[in-house]
Amino acid sequence: MLRSFLIYLSKAAWAQRMVTQWKFAWRAASRFVAGETIEDALRVVRELNAKGINVTLDHLGEHTTSPEEAAQATADILEILDRLGQDGFRSNVSIKLTQIGLALDEELCAENLERILARARERKNFVRIDMEDSPYVDQTFALYRRMRDKGYENVGLVVQAYLYRSEEDTRALLAEGARFRLVKGAYKEPPELAYPKKADVNANYDLLAKILIDAAVEAGAPTISADGRIPPIPAIATHDEARIDFARQYARKVGLPNDALEFQMLYGIRRDLQERLAGEGYPVRVYVPYGTHWYPYFMRRLAERPANLWFFLSNLFRG
């Protein structure tokens, strides 16, 4: 109930107008967001890199409402790729297709995506396409395949364990050489499309982790690149220790080396676990969002964990 309501609020323009005016809301959001500027983001990348942790940078934004906004979002992503390239940061980038125009016009989005992938290739970097809610899944896979057909290899996908369709999608795309970030799924989906029960999502998560690990072994266990930017085939993105332990144990059983299995977590969540896994020799990548469009991202983080609501409200009382 509460999760659904918070996800509804994450999309409600009236709520966004109200909440983003509250100073304490930004104070609470800044636990999960590196800051509003690219300099804030790069400072966090530097700090994490110094601890042996890699990064994927996300310039916050989704559902742009005009071609001009989509063009601006694209230009911002090109700037990140340039900045990451100049200083040898161990970071790639994550993008959302609705940020670069998918909800407006698929062709416009394809042009923007190709410009981003071309620049990433020039800068020897990698772009992960985040997965959004179910109306965009087919288009996301179609655009990914179009770019692969044009020869762009420096691009990866996300698969959501809560969707019934994910096993079939994962098997088909792995056969085409895809690299995946595996997540549980952050949106509100109907029971016709997604497992309503957490236990079923977890079971499907473990199944998909197995499929990804098997595919990595079969492909000769490609490891993370030496510069930390190009991830291995499986990236296990969760803060759920039971899921992490399952993936680790299964990888050990089938002989996948540690540096061919990446773990990913969100900025501001389970730093202890991030550092522990990095200490054990696994590549760990933290998803670092920054920018002024933090509202929907922040609301999804509240929806994931009701206890975060108290943290949010405690910021109100701190004045």
Q: Does 290 bind ligand FAD (CB under 6 A)?
A: no
Of 227, 177, 268, 246, nearest to 54 by C-alpha is 227
- Judged by CB under 6 A, the stretch of 70-78, 85-93, 248-256, 263-271 that binds ligand FAD is 263-271
Here the tokens at position 63 are: 């559902």
Q: Does 265 bind ligand FAD (CB under 6 A)?
A: yes
> Given candidates 136, 269, 275, 309, which one binds ligand FAD under the rule CB under 6 A?
269
**CB-nearer residue toward ligand FAD: 76 or 206:** 206
| Letter string b/e over residues 187-204, b meaning 16 or more CB atoms within 10 A of that residue's CB | bbbeeeebbeeeeebbeb
Tell me, letter by letter, the H, E, C secondary structure of 91-155.
EEEEECHHHHCCCCCHHHHHHHHHHHHHHHHHCCCCEEECCCCHHHHHHHHHHHHHHHHCCCCCE
**CB-nearer residue toward ligand FAD: 160 or 166:** 160
Catalytic residue of the set 130, 169, 229, 243: 130
Catalytic residue of the set 83, 119, 179, 181: 181
CB 112 within 8 A of CB 146: no
Confirm whether 181 is a catalytic residue: yes
Residue with tokens 């999804």: 300
C-alpha dihedral (93, 127, 106, 164), degrees to nearest 10: -100
Q: How many Å apart are CA 55 and CA 165, to the nearest integer?
A: 29
CB 204 within 8 A of CB 258: no
Report the site for ligand FAD in 119-158 (rule: CB under 6 A).
130-131, 158
x-marked contacts with ligand FAD along 217-256 as a string, rule CB under 6 A: --------------------xxxx----------------
Query: What is the size of the binding site for ligand FAD (CB under 6 A)?
Result: 23
Confirm whether 130 is a catalytic residue: yes
CB of 10 to ligand FAD, least distance (A): 12
> Given candidates 61, 185, 231, 234, which one binds ligand FAD under the rule CB under 6 A?
185
Other CB atoms within a 10 A radius of the CB of residue 284 amount to 23
Q: Does 297 bind ligand FAD (CB under 6 A)?
A: no
**CB-nearer residue toward ligand FAD: 126 or 287:** 287
**Contact positions vs ligand FAD (CB under 6 A):** 130-131, 158, 160, 181, 183-187, 237-240, 264-266, 269, 287, 301, 304-305, 308
